[in-house]
Amino acid sequence: MAMYSQSVRAPPPPPCRFVPRPCYVMARPLLVFMPNGALLKAAVRDVWASNFDEELSNLSAVLPRYPCVCVDTEFPGAVHDSDMPRYMRGPRESYELVKRNVDDLKLLQVGIALSGPTGRFPVAWQFNIRGFDPALHPHAPASIAMLREQGMDFAMLNEFGIDPKDFAPGFRRSGLACGRLTRTAFSGSYDFAYLAKALTGGQPLPDTLDGFLALVRRLFGHSVFDVKHLARCCAMRGGLEQVATALGVKRAVGRAHCAGSDSLLTTDVLLLMLHRFFRNVDVLAHAGTIVDLT
């Protein structure tokens, strides 16, 4: 299969070269991975309104062989905080804060990286979403400045990005909404929350934590894993970069805080952890645990 060129945040790219195949659904999630995926070169494929349908077909074609879907989202920071220190917050207090921020803010990017029994697929998809204007919409100024430094172009997002109302039906059409896939994210409370909001047409999140966890199960099934939780089980603390450094995993392509690149790095971290620490451990026991919310 031909590799994509490593262009990140280029204008809408020309059609890709591989031919889509019909998608089917794995009967059960596969959680036995080989670590060789972490050694593959990688590319991030930017997805805009102009190539949205085509790239969904390409993703759908390889999804049957790579049924573990790693999600990363980018959003305009956090505008709500709590007077309660983070270490004192329980799951319900943490969810209340997640809900307030996600309800009031807009999604900017969704990164999707795939893996399966043979390792990681060498291409990640970076879905660029339109609708956010820093001059009009709530945001954390420091977060917007950081995203700009990492290369995010908000004018390009609004000119070429995917309309949010088109994202949910496309996501379902591709097979990504199937409940029998495996979903992963790193410190995934906001990732799963923003994706749930997108898939429910921008509706406010459920009022209660129990309602949100039920929504996550309905949208994504029961095989939902937080890679940060798995890292803590392996006595590794810190964010994605810190855990990757502790494992000796290098970023395959791109920059931090770019959804496609971060989804690839999360996948490589997961593959290596599963190989190194969970070969004789039932990782399914950790399904459904989302850091700060369970």
What is the pLDDT at residue 40? 61
In total, how many domains does the chain have? Answer: 1
Q: What is the CATH number of the domain that holds 81?
A: 3.30.420.10
| 168 backbone φψ class: left, alpha, beta (φ>0; ψ -120 to 50) | alpha
What is the pLDDT at residue 279? 87
Question: What is the separation of C-alpha 58 from the centre of its chain, rounded to a whole number of angstroms?
Answer: 18
Residue 293 located in a structural domain: no
What is the pLDDT at residue 9? 41
What is the pLDDT at residue 120? 93
Residue ranges for the chain with pLDDT beneath 70: 1-40
Structure token digits, residue 187: 């410190």
- State the residue range of the domain holding 108: 43-286
Residue 276 located in a structural domain: yes
What is the pLDDT at residue 281? 87
Could you tell me the pTM of the whole model? 0.87
Residue 274 located in a structural domain: yes
What is the pLDDT at residue 41? 78
Residue 218 located in a structural domain: yes
What is the pLDDT at residue 22? 32
CB contact at 8 A, 118 and 92? no
CB contact at 8 A, 120 and 268? yes
Residue 26 located in a structural domain: no
What is the pLDDT at residue 28? 36
Residue 15 located in a structural domain: no
pLDDT digits (tens, 9 = 90+) for 80-114: 999 898 889 999 999 999 999 999 999 999 999 99
